[in-house]
Amino acid sequence: MEKDHIDIGDEIDILIKHDRRIEKLNRNFGDLLGKGLQLFSLGGGLTYYILSQILTDFHVKRGYYLVRTPLITNTLLYQISGHLSYYKQNMYIFNIENEEFAIKPMNCPHHILIFINLLEKYRKIKLPFRIFELGTVHRYEPSGSVYGLLRVRSFTQDDSHVFITPNLLEKEIENLMNEMIILYEKVFNINLRSSEFKIRLSLHDPNKMNEYSGSKEDWEYVEDVMRNVINKLASKYNFSIYEGIGEAAFYGPKYDFTLKIGEKEWQLGTMQLDFNLPRNFKLIELVKDYFGIDNLYIIHRAYLGSIERFIGAYLESFKGRLPFVLTPIQVAILDIFTGDKEKDNKIKEYAMKIYNNLKNKEIRVVNIETTKTQLSNMTRILESTYKPYIIIYIGEKEVKDNIYSIRYYNINSKNIEEKKIREEELYNLIEELEKPLEELNNKKYRLFEDFNFIFE
Ligand code: ZN
């Protein structure tokens, strides 16, 4: 049977399988954790951290404002947002000292509070205002539908809210789509120019106008804009586009993005317009009072969807082979000892030189001591667990010839290949694998650019 991402994730120490036994406690890990929840283990913790860092950098360098919101909140916030009336069945609610709390199922209401505060405090704000959080949310999912990292009850969204006036909408949606394309293509090396990327545009049903929030004019205007933007991009990138009439949420039309990673299709990112929350929080009245603007929309968007889902989809599609930039152990150096002290010292010295050079380049590298007889077993263990992209073998012959024997994952052919290379070629190979990071490293942080007036 084909391994799923849970088996693979367990092997590579990304997560811990729920049916794994803790003998001494006479329980399974899953019994102690609860359904739909995951523990990110050693490999998983590192991958999670690196992915969080990449996503945070990506957004801050594009002018988003970073915020942080608590995991629990007074339910009054969700009463105002409306979630308590239409989303309550998915929320965890409890009481402390006669105060009713909910575990946060969505970050939007909190982000709106931050927007309101800035607006009232400075009475000056540049739109579109973009706010970003790696926001952890908890949602009830029936125990029968939870599945590994792909459907969980606790997850972290790469969540952003954009506050915007109608006249700026088209340019902004185009900007957001381009950001997403850069993130997928440049950072995660996923080719969107093939049939692998699909966009579903969910629209309202004109015959059921009474079921929607927002005016007919809002709906028609925004749907036209959204259609224009993807048609423009589709002709450039060859995306497949589907329109679903009557599939929109009651609060606004949306795009959903499906991506074929490997053999499977995944629903990942989403971009949704919202006519409802600006009304519920009286934002339209606020911007009218301060700026004389008579309408405001909110865009909800998550490019990857969630960190959990993205990692799960990747593990499952590529059988544990994560993108190089997310791989916990990128390079393994194996010293092949002979038993002869003098020779082994030379091997160690030669290995440490390359080990230190790679470490200085911030490559995640490990050094393992082995022998000729253990070699194939060690290689097998590495490839069935952490899957480093490059294994470097250093024995007597390599030292003598001043060369490296490598076994590496070729990202173009998607095969494991072997060759002997010189030090310089090894660095070139690694540089190629690290290319996705150029997109992040070449850009500077943009801090408070639109809020310079605070310091004037
Ligand atoms: Zn939202």
Q: Active-site residue 159, yes or no?
A: yes
321-375 pLDDT, tens digit per residue, is 999 999 999 999 999 999 999 999 999 999 999 999 999 999 999 999 999 999 9
pLDDT of residue 72: 98
Please tell me which residue in 157, 204, 301, 321 is annotated as part of the active site.
157
Give me ligand 1 centre to Cα 65, in Å: 15
Topology (CATH) of 329-439: Rossmann fold (3.40.50)
% of the chain beyond a pLDDT of 70: 100
Give me ligand 1 centre to Cα 142, in Å: 22
Lowest mean pLDDT among 71-75, 192-196, 332-336: 192-196
Give me ligand 1 centre to Cα 46, in Å: 27
pLDDT surpasses 80 at 194: no
Give me ligand 1 centre to Cα 357, in Å: 44
pLDDT of residue 36: 97
Question: Helix, strand or coil for residue 449?
Answer: helix
Please tell me which residue in 38, 108, 110, 321 is annotated as part of the active site.
108
pLDDT surpasses 90 at 283: yes
pLDDT of residue 88: 97
Give me ligand 1 centre to Cα 164, in Å: 14
Exposed, middle or buried: residue 427 (CB in 10 Å: 0-12, 13-18, 19+)? middle
pLDDT surpasses 80 at 263: no
In the chain, which segments carry CATH 3.30.930.10?
A: 5-69+107-321
Give me ligand 1 centre to Cα 111, in Å: 8
pLDDT of residue 187: 86
In the chain, which segments carry CATH 3.40.50.800?
A: 329-439
pLDDT of residue 2: 80
Give me ligand 1 centre to Cα 50, in Å: 24
212-250 pLDDT, tens digit per residue, is 999 999 999 999 999 999 999 988 888 889 999 999 999
pLDDT of residue 229: 96
Please tell me which residue in 161, 301, 309, 321 is annotated as part of the active site.
161
Residue 106: both structure tokens together: 């969505």
Please tell me which residue in 130, 254, 301, 387 is annotated as part of the active site.
254
pLDDT surpasses 90 at 256: yes
Give me ligand 1 centre to Cα 300, in Å: 4
pLDDT surpasses 80 at 261: no
Q: Domain 5-69+107-321: what homologous superfamily?
A: Bira Bifunctional Protein; Domain 2 (3.30.930.10)
Judging by DSSP bridges, how do beta strands 264-274 and 72-74 pair with one another?
unpaired
Give me ligand 1 centre to Cα 393, in Å: 49
Give me ligand 1 centre to Cα 45, in Å: 26
- For residue 158, CA distances in Å to 13, 66, 283, 412, 441 come to 23, 11, 24, 29, 20
pLDDT of residue 146: 96
Q: Active-site residue 341, yes or no?
A: no
365-412 pLDDT, tens digit per residue, is 999 999 999 999 999 999 999 999 999 999 999 999 999 999 999 988
Give me ligand 1 centre to Cα 81, in Å: 11
pLDDT surpasses 80 at 181: yes
pLDDT of residue 240: 87
122-131 pLDDT, tens digit per residue, is 988 899 999 9
Confidence at 53, pLDDT banded by 50, 70, 90? very high
User: What's the one-letter identity of residue 226?
Assistant: M
Question: Helix, strand or coil for residue 82?
Answer: coil
Q: Active-site residue 300, yes or no?
A: yes
Q: Active-site residue 157, yes or no?
A: yes
Q: N- to C-terminal Cα distance for the chain?
A: 65
Give me ligand 1 centre to Cα 188, in Å: 24
pLDDT surpasses 90 at 274: yes
Please tell me which residue in 83, 138, 300, 387 is annotated as part of the active site.
300
Task: Please state, in angstroms and rounded to a whole number, the distance separating the CA atoms of residues 58 and 77.
Answer: 30
Give me ligand 1 centre to Cα 251, in Å: 11
DSSP 319-384: TT---GGG-S--EEEEEEE-S-HHHHHHHHHHHHHHHHHHHHTT--EEEEEEETTTHHHHHHHHHH
Q: Active-site residue 18, yes or no?
A: no
Please tell me which residue in 159, 218, 274, 335 is annotated as part of the active site.
159
pLDDT of residue 189: 80
Confirm if 385 and 12 have CB atoms less than 8 A apart.
yes
Please give the mean pLDDT across all residues of the chain. Answer: 94
Please tell me which residue in 18, 104, 139, 387 is annotated as part of the active site.
139
Q: Which of 31-35, 194-198, 259-263 has the highest mean pLDDT?
A: 31-35
Which distant-in-sequence residues (6+ apart) come within 8 Å of 252 by Cβ?
213, 214, 219, 222, 272, 273, 274, 275, 276, 297
Give me ligand 1 centre to Cα 106, in Å: 6
Phi, psi of 377 (to 5 degrees): -65, -40
DSSP class of residue 397 equals H
pLDDT of residue 397: 97
Task: Please state, in angstroms and rounded to a whole number, the distance separating the CA atoms of residues 99 and 103.
Answer: 13
